[in-house]
Structures are given as C-alpha cells and as structure tokens.
Structure 1
C-alpha cells in the first residue's frame, strides 16, 4: 500500500491536504464549508509492466504501465494497487468494475473508455485527454483530477466523496442522479453540466472559472457559489422558476 506523506510534497506530485481538511473553517474557507480530503501518495519503487494484454480480474501491484497502447483491451474487474499508468492509450478499453487504489494515472488519453462502476480511492488523475468516458455508477473517494480536458464524462448515479477537480476542463459532464459530498472545483471550467436528480452536500463551486449548468440547476442545494456565479446563473434560475425578466 502506498505510504502516506507526513510532510512535504509527495513523490508523485500529489498535493498535501488543506490544513484541517474535512473540518470547517480552514484557511480561506468560510465557516460551514467542509474541505475535501485529498489523497497523499508516495508510491514505492515500481516494476515495469511486462509485455502482454490486460487480463479480466487481473491483480496488479506495484507496477508502472508506461506509454502502452491498451486500446480495446479488457481489464474488467482488475485491481490496480500502488500503480502508475503513464501516457497510456485507453481507446475503448474495458475497465468496468476495476479498482484503482493508491495509484496515479498520468496523461491518460482515449475515447470511449469504459469505466462503469469503477472504484477510484486515494488516486490522482493528471493531465487527462479523454472523451466519452463511461463512469456510470462509479465510486470516487479521495481523488484529485488535475489538468487536462475530459469531454462528455458520464458520472450518472456515481458517488463522489472528497474529490477535487483542479485546473481542468469538463465539457458536458453528466452528474445525473449522482451523489457528491465534499467535492471542490478549483480553477476548473465546468461547461454545460447536467445535475438532474443529483444530490450535493458541501460542494464548493466558487473556484470554478466557468460555471455552466444546462439541466438540474434546482439541485444546487448543498453547494456554495460566489456572488458573481449567482449573477451568471440568474437566467437559468429564472427559467426554472418560470420567472420573466423584462
């Protein structure tokens, strides 16, 4: 298992959690707004992954997958513990029910990656270039998604707890029916998001550089936004209320 960092930056470029993470009133944080708890990772020395395709229900521990084309492969139900996937191609890769624990995904790229009901715990996703990612029913806990761009991210019915989206672009993400608790958007562009039937608790949207919600604006109860964002959302809120502004 990855060792927890106790001081300084992690060896994977991870960010230390904010002071008092999980408690209200951290630096720069209003009372009553709970901060997400970030993963703090130090991976052990990793062995290169030997040649060969992924295996369904495979067990991968302490391995580095570097610059591999995993397109179309089936790693459904696999467990990745203390692993790093760096620069790997994931076009149509099947990873449904897979588990990524204490791991890092650096610069993953691909279209149509199938991550249905995947589990990400104590994991970082860095500089992703992904489109049409299927994460329906996924479970994310203590996860940082930093940098890159993800188009059409399907997180319907997913559960996100202690998740940070930082310095990334999310285009038309679908959070329909999802449960979000202690989720932060920091320097993140959120474009045309769908919150239909979503449940939000301690979701901090104030750091979003763009905040566009096409559906489910009435589900924002449990989120925190800035005054400027309220003005930006005014037309959508008015439409939801059936209010005419003349």
Structure 2
C-alpha cells in the first residue's frame, strides 16, 4: 500500500471577509469567512485560494464547479449543498455536518476529512486521490462509478456504503471502526481489509457469489 500524500496547508495572514453574498464565478483569495450564512446563495464556479471557512451554514448553497485550493473548512454545516464537480486540492475539512450533499463528478486531491458526520453524500463518478478520512461518520455514501486511489478510512464509521462500479487502488479500510457495505462488495479489488473485517463482511461476500449460509 502506498501512503497517502497529505495536504500541507499553511495559510497566510487572512483578512476577514467584508460581508455580502457570494458571487457566481467569484474570486476569493486570502480571506477568512466566519459564522456566515450562505443558505441558498449561488457561488457556482467560484475560486477559493488560501481561505478559511469556519462555522458557515451551507443549506442549499450552490458551489457547483467551485475550486477550493490550499484552504481550511472547519465546522461547516448544511443540507442539500450543491458541490457537484467541485475541485478540492490541498484542503483540510474538520467537523463538518452535511446531509444530502451533491458531490458527483467532484475531484479531490490531497484532502483530509477529520471528524464530523456526512449523511447521504452523492459521490458518483467522483475522483479521490490522496484522501484521508479520519474519525468521521459516513452514512450511505454513494461512490458509484467513483475512482479511489490512495484513500484511507482511519477510525471511521462507514454505514451502508455503495461502491457499485467503483475502481480502487491502494484503498486502506483496515483502520475503519466499522465497515458496512450495502452494494458493490465486488468492487473491493484494489482495497485492503483486516481479518476481522473479512469476517464481518463474509455474509455480503457470500451473497455476492450466490452462496447460501445456513
């Protein structure tokens, strides 16, 4: 297993954002967004570079095709956030509380997701490379058709995951606290699991190849 290349985020001295709604195709550099309510705002195609986003509300926020580089997202929360086709590179996400986020077609590279809970994220056709999930809860994450390369899940709870049609390379599930795969058990080629996880997943493997266990 090749090790995950982790982000090295070194933020410059940040300026507080002056307020106002986010803009479509907006360009944000070296700013700190704190306790902002972005609910329902449209920032599709926006670019965030060397930014900190702390405790912001993202309910129904549109960030489709946004680019977030060398930045920190801390304590963000929201339901129905549109992050489809978003690009994350060298990003640290901590204590996020998200539900029903649209992340299909997203590209993540050198990203750490630490703590928090993400319910029902749509990561179909996403590409994750050098991504570390740490101590977080993922509920019914849909990775259908996604590409995962050098991805780890340390101390994470993975509930009812869908890996249908996913492609994996150097994906390490051994550190996960709990692994529950609802669909796509046959797509774990390219992943490594522990002996105890194999025992827990045995019924799913048996069902996949048509073996009845009585």
TM-score (norm: length of structure 2): 0.99
In 1, Cα distance between equivalents of 2:212 and 2:80: 41
The alpha carbon displacement at 1:203 in A equals 0.1
Give 1:170 deviation, angstroms: 0.3
- SS of the counterpart of 2:104? coil
**Aligned-residue offset at 1:167:** 0.4
Whole-angstrom CA distance in 1 between matches of 2:213 and 2:79: 41
Q: Structure 2 unaligned runs (5+)?
A: none
Equivalent of residue 241 in structure 1, options 204, 209, 214:
209
Q: Which residue of 1 aligns with 2:63?
A: 95
- In the alignment, is residue 65 of structure 1 matched against residue 33 of structure 2? yes
In 1, Cα distance between the equivalents of 2:133 and 2:19? 33
Q: Which moved more, 1:60-69 or 1:34-43?
A: 34-43
User: Which residue does 1:40 correspond to in 2?
Assistant: 8
| 1:126 and 2:94 aligned | yes
Aligned equivalents of 1:34, 1:203: Cα separation in 2 = 9
1:209 aligns with 2:196: no
Structure 1 residue runs without a partner (length 5+):
1-32
1:115-139 CA deviation, whole Å, 9 max, x = no partner? 0000000001100011001000000
Root-mean-square deviation (Å) = 0.4
Q: How far apart are the structure 2 equivalents of 1:102 and 1:40?
A: 8
What's the counterpart of residue 11 of structure 1? Answer: none
Q: For residue 86 of structure 1, what is the aligned residue in structure 2?
A: 54
Runs of 4+ in 1 over 6 A off after TM superposition: none
